[in-house]
Structure 1
Amino acid sequence: MARLQSSGLFDLGDSRLEYQFVGRHPEVTPTLVLLHEGLGSAMQWGALPETLARTTECGILAVSRQGYGASSPVPLPRPADYLEHEARVVLPRILDAADVRSGVLIGHSDGASIAALALAEGDARLRGGVLIAPHFFVEEVTLSAIRRTRAAYERGLLRTRLGRWHADVEGAFRGWNDAWLDPVRRKWTIEAALPRLTVPVTLIQGTEDAYGTRAQIAAARRSCPPGLLTVRELPHIGHEPHREAFADTVEIISAFVRHVLKDEGGQINT
């Protein structure tokens, strides 16, 4: 299999997915796979990939889901189970395409929900996950924040900012916003998947997150198997801890990676 380039496209047959890669390659060391938020992409993680490559000595793979970044467009409207499809069908194909042999998932928001679902599938390649501001079920505060985001997009400012990152801005935004504001979405929950986890997870939540409350933490504590969940609440931080509390978030992720990969024989920086 060809070595990963610093950026490129995975050809999955029915779609082409943009990726960014930094650090050591999968045949040398474990890979941290970054799963972006509902309006994110592989290129929107800022300094996090390079920093984690240094602090963990792992490879860092970020992928734009279909409909985002430079990836293939996605048919709209998205189905109600599109996050589940990403976890169960698409992500394993990405791991195959990248030749990931041992990895940790790092997901933010929608990406954290995908990470939780994927870890519950029991893929032996996945050693654990960091869930940053995950959604396990729908809260009214989440829908209210998404409505405000829609208003900002329709005023044009957010659309302009997103245009820097997404080839199909309208598709990226509507695919996320319309799916979450569909009335059917109110009953969506993935809490039933959490008892199937068999690997450690760390949940990072800002106390001032406009998209979710401590009820998400309560759901994780209620449903995750004993001994697998660690919760890190960050005071005065909102929905984007990896941007608002960069150093703290890097340290939490790095410590978690050291813990779950400690038996892989010198692959990480201790």
Structure 2
Amino acid sequence: MSIQFVEIPWRERTVRIEHEFLSPAQRVEAGAPLIVFLHEGLGSRSMWRDFPQRLCDAVGAPGLVYSRPGYGRSTPRAADEHWGLDFMHRQADEVLPALLDALDVPRPVWLFGHSDGGSIALLHAAHQPQRVAGAVVLAPHIRVEAFGLASIRAARVAYETTELRSRLSRHHDDVDSAFWGWNDIWLHPDFPTWNIEAELPAIACPLLAVQGLDDPYGTLEQIRGIARARPSTTRAPTELLELPACGHDPQRDQPDALIAAVQAFMARHR
């Protein structure tokens, strides 16, 4: 299906959300839930490239890919809009539910989130457990590490001095909206206090957490912290996948290994 737009109410205005539904190459397996893809802090629908389609084909499930407000072809941030420390909570608790309602998406769904999108997936699964059948999170953030903040500072320098802005502009109608919305809040002096570990025990679905060993934005403690905060149970297992030769983007650095792992995980727990 081609790219579409839907309007949702958010932050006392109406925002337009760019989205695309994906169908697997083969017939959808019986009972296969929709997989909702949640992009990274500088991502968009288009920046996933062909990975969502490849995963949907492999697991025999439909997918939904969208750009959050401020990203891609979705409504940019307003000129005076500054995100708060709760910006990922607001995406999890307000934007995602409003989008799924506007699109009449049956619940429960599977969530597939990367980086900030992984944190949003964890928060949505914790706050609305009855609406989530399972979750896969890549390079999620559950706390702020000085290690990662150094890379975010380096990204700011790269945006101002290299071709990074030009490359990102291919994926965002308002590239400054996307970059500064993300970078400003992550480098806010109060943001090091951000932490969602206390919320993770409420997650009631199967959860696969993935981390690259060479990720410049987070250490293995991000996913190992998930396992400590939310111990595995028979009905709601927590599984970890630590990928060598992999940076912040497992879907680009190790796509085949990632797809195989997700396919096996969903087969066991769907």
Match of 1:84 in 2: 89
Residue by residue, what CA displacement relative to the aligned partner does 1:168-197 show, whole Å, maximum 9, x if unpaired?
111100000001000110100011110111
Alpha-carbon distance in structure 2 between the residues aligned to 1:256 and 1:149: 33
Match of 2:155 in 1: 149
In the TM superposition, residue 53 of structure 1 has moved relative to its aligned partner by 2.1
Aligned residues: 256
Residue by residue, what CA displacement relative to the aligned partner does 1:64-95 show, whole Å, maximum 9, x if unpaired?
00000000012331111010010011111122
Match of 2:15 in 1: 15
Among candidates 155, 168, 178, match of residue 174 of structure 2: 168
In the TM superposition, residue 258 of structure 1 has moved relative to its aligned partner by 2.0
In the TM superposition, residue 11 of structure 1 has moved relative to its aligned partner by 1.0
1:195 aligned onto 2:198: no
Computed over aligned residues only, the root mean square deviation of the Cα atoms, in angstroms, reads: 1.6
Q: Which moved more, 1:179-188 or 1:224-233?
A: 224-233
1:70 aligned onto 2:78: no
Decide whether aligned partners of structure 1 residues 99 and 28 sit closer, same or farther in structure 2, where only a CA change above 3 A counts: farther
Equivalence map 1:120-135=2 (5 Å):
120-135=126-141
In the TM superposition, residue 255 of structure 1 has moved relative to its aligned partner by 1.8
Match of 1:124, SS state, is helix
Match of 1:97 in 2: 102
Match of 1:255 in 2: 264
Equivalence map 1:159-238=2 (5 Å):
159-227=165-233, 228-238=237-247
Match of 1:12, SS state, is strand
Match of 1:267 in 2: none
Match of 1:48 in 2: 51
1:242 aligned onto 2:256: no
Among candidates 11, 30, 35, match of residue 33 of structure 2: 30
Match of 1:203, SS state, is strand
Alpha-carbon distance in structure 2 between the residues aligned to 1:211 and 1:114: 16
Alpha-carbon distance in structure 2 between the residues aligned to 1:223 and 1:20: 34
CA contact (8 A) 2:245 2:253 kept: no
Alpha-carbon distance in structure 2 between the residues aligned to 1:190 and 1:73: 26
CA contact (8 A) 1:108 1:132 kept: yes
4+ runs deviating over 4 angstroms: none
CA contact (8 A) 2:39 2:113 kept: yes
What is the identity, as a one-letter code, of the residue corresponding to 1:104? W
Residue by residue, what CA displacement relative to the aligned partner does 1:150-171 show, whole Å, maximum 9, x if unpaired?
1110014100001101001111
Match of 1:41, SS state, is coil
Alpha-carbon distance in structure 1 between the residues aligned to 2:75 and 2:268: 36
Match of 1:140 in 2: 146
In the TM superposition, residue 6 of structure 1 has moved relative to its aligned partner by 2.7
In the TM superposition, residue 97 of structure 1 has moved relative to its aligned partner by 2.2
Decide whether aligned partners of structure 1 residues 29 and 221 sit closer, same or farther in structure 2, where only a CA change above 3 A counts: closer
Alpha-carbon distance in structure 2 between the residues aligned to 1:94 and 1:55: 25
TM-score after normalising by structure 1: 0.91
- Among the aligned pairs, what percent are the same residue? 40
In the TM superposition, residue 124 of structure 1 has moved relative to its aligned partner by 2.2
Decide whether aligned partners of structure 1 residues 259 and 97 sit closer, same or farther in structure 2, where only a CA change above 3 A counts: farther
Structure 2 unaligned runs (5+)?
Answer: none
Structure 1 unaligned runs (5+)?
Answer: 262-270
Q: Which moved more, 1:215-224 or 1:83-92?
A: 215-224
Alpha-carbon distance in structure 2 between the residues aligned to 1:221 and 1:135: 13
Among candidates 112, 123, 127, match of residue 106 of structure 1: 112
Alpha-carbon distance in structure 1 between the residues aligned to 2:144 and 2:56: 33
Alpha-carbon distance in structure 1 between the residues aligned to 2:127 and 2:231: 14
Match of 2:42, SS state, is coil
TM-score after normalising by structure 2: 0.91
In the TM superposition, residue 29 of structure 1 has moved relative to its aligned partner by 4.3
Among candidates 58, 61, 66, match of residue 61 of structure 2: 58
What is the identity, as a one-letter code, of the residue corresponding to 2:144? V
Alpha-carbon distance in structure 1 between the residues aligned to 2:82 and 2:7: 23
